[in-house]
Amino acid sequence: MDWADDIDSAWLDGVTTVGVTSGASVPEVLVRGVLERLAECGYDIVQPVTTANETLVFALPRELRSPR
């Protein structure tokens, strides 16, 4: 789904728990919109879960680095 308004409350009939995940490039405002829509459907308790802590750091290509 692309937008919070895409959520059909009928999908949630009989559902007790809903999981939400998103990619790193998804704007926070869209994630918040989904959480707000779910709250309207009665899913107003949010429990953040961390599944991974990413620590990768990539160096800039040589062509973009400052000369020393």
Residue 67 pLDDT exceeds 90: no
- Plot region of 14 (φ>0 → left; ψ -120 to 50 → alpha; else → beta): left
**Which residue's structure tokens are 């009939």?**
13
Model pLDDT, residue 4: 96
User: Which domain does 36 fall in, by range?
Assistant: 4-64
Model pLDDT, residue 1: 84
Model pLDDT, residue 24: 85
Number of domains in the chain: 1
pTM: 0.71
Model pLDDT, residue 36: 97
**Tens-digit pLDDT profile for residues 11-37:** 999 999 999 999 889 999 999 999 999
Distance CA 57, CA 2 (A): 29
Model pLDDT, residue 61: 92
